[in-house]
């Protein structure tokens, strides 16, 4: 009887493992196909049958994307935008979360409810308002015009608030007994405790901003001001669409984010778990 149960359990574990592997392969295959196709000559890409490996390996499409497009400038625009959004969002969200968690001020409860209510408003519904505001302020096609509308991440504020709620009150009381100011308490006591969460959230916000397409697509109408996700849509040839060249540009666009995720996988997973827990 015990042997039969063990066999059933072993069979179930084998089936779950096999299903997991199949799902992983199905998810990875489009990425593999995109990278491999970018290494093929154009005539191999458009063949009517599938080839899992290029007959002729070439890096010409990467060279063309790097030398015949403004991808270097697009990298700079994406980096400036992503870093700006990350720094401002993390610092302001940290301060806001600390204030809601630790300070008593009029309207504190209503501010918390308002931030929670922001989850019910999709960011895409604010696009028209953002565009009109940035146009009236003459900030289209500028880094500042790219950054300002992307600073709305209420989930970051809630994560910080929950973290500060969990800090023992004795730390704050001891600092107050030493006549420390609120800024000193925040800077000397609370900030050093949350470097792990801050690093994880900063990486996720950076990745979200780097991959964002909709707002940069609307705010950047000149090739020189485009970010990488928008700019790679401009990689084309006067005689038609070159699929391998576009795939090479797409791989170059995703490369910084992929490397960032590989180096900070644990922190990214932690931040996604925290944000998913809040949204759930």
CATH number at residue 136: 1.10.3720.10
pLDDT value, residue 239: 42
Helices (H), 103-194: 108-117, 127-136, 143-147, 154-165, 169-177, 182-185
Q: What is the mean pLDDT of residues 208-230?
A: 89
Same domain, 89 and 27: no
Q: What is the mean pLDDT of residues 108-125?
A: 81
* Closest CA relative to residue 212, chosen from 225, 200, 229, 231: 229
Same domain, 207 and 263: yes
Same domain, 178 and 51: no
Same domain, 226 and 105: yes
Q: Assess whether pLDDT exceeds 80 at residue 275.
A: no
**Beta pairing partners, 240:** 237
Q: Which domain holds residue 34?
A: 2-59
The average confidence (pLDDT) of the chain is 82
Same domain, 150 and 243: yes
Q: What is the band of 103 on the pLDDT scale with cuts at 50, 70, 90?
A: confident
pTM of this prediction? 0.80
């Amino acid at each position: 009887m015990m042997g039969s149960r063990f066999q059933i359990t072993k069979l179930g574990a084998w089936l779950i493992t096999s299903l997991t592997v199949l799902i992983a392969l199905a998810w990875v295959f489009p990425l593999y196909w995109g990278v491999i196709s970018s290494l093929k000559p154009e005539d191999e890409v458009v063949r009517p049958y599938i080839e899992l490996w290029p007959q002729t390996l070439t890096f010409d499409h990467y060279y063309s994307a790097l030398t015949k497009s403004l991808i270097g400038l697009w990298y700079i625009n994406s980096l400036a935008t992503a870093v700006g959004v990350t720094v401002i969002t993390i610092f302001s969200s940290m301060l806001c979360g600390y204030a809601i968690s630790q300070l008593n001020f009029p309207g504190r409860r209503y501010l918390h409810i308002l931030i929670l209510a922001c989850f019910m408003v999709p960011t895409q519904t604010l696009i028209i308002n953002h565009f009109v505001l940035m146009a009236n302020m003459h900030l289209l096609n500028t880094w500042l015009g790219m950054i300002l509308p992307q600073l709305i991440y209420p989930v970051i504020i809630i994560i910080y608030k929950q973290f500060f709620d969990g800090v023992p009150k004795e730390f704050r009381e001891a600092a107050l007994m030493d006549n420390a100011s609120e800024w000193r308490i925040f800077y000397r006591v609370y900030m050093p405790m949350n470097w792990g969460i801050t690093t994880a959230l900063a990486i996720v916000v950076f990745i979200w901003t780097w991959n964002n397409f909709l707002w940069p697509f609307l705010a950047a109408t000149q090739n020189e001001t485009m970010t990488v996700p928008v700019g790679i849509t401009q990689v084309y040839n006067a005689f038609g669409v070159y699929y391998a060249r576009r795939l090479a540009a797409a791989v170059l666009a995703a490369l910084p984010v992929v490397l960032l995720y590989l180096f900070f996988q644990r922190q990214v997973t932690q931040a996604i778990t925290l944000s998913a827990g809040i949204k759930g």
